[in-house]
Amino acid sequence: MGMTLKELLTKGEGTLSAQEAKTLAAQCRMDVETLYTLLEERGIKIIEDEADADVNLDVDSI
């Protein structure tokens, strides 16, 4: 990542992985949902981890 929250919000574009967002939230002492909201309002996209995306399995395809 390498950017501070202030730099991310000032730049107002780009992407951040879900893990980077969680780390940044911890560093800023804020909850992840609040950070996601701030970033998304500034046009910064959060890329969810692929491991988290597999939680919703299609039962019919098994």
Q: What is the 3 state secondary structure string of 2-23? A: CCCHHHHHHHCCEEEEHHHHHH
**pLDDT average, residue stretch 40-61:** 70
Q: How many structural domains compose the chain?
A: 1
pLDDT score for 19: 92
Does 54 map to a domain? no
Q: Which residue has the higher pLDDT, 42 or 56?
A: 42
CA 59 from centroid of its chain's CA atoms: 28
pTM of the model: 0.67
Residue 34's domain spans which residues? 5-49
Q: Is the pLDDT of residue 58 over 70?
A: no
Name the CA dihedral angle for 54, 24, 11, 13, rounded to a multiple of 10 degrees.
Answer: 10
pLDDT score for 6: 85
Which helix (H) or strand (E) segment holds residue 61: the answer is none
Q: Two tokens at 50? A: 């692929």
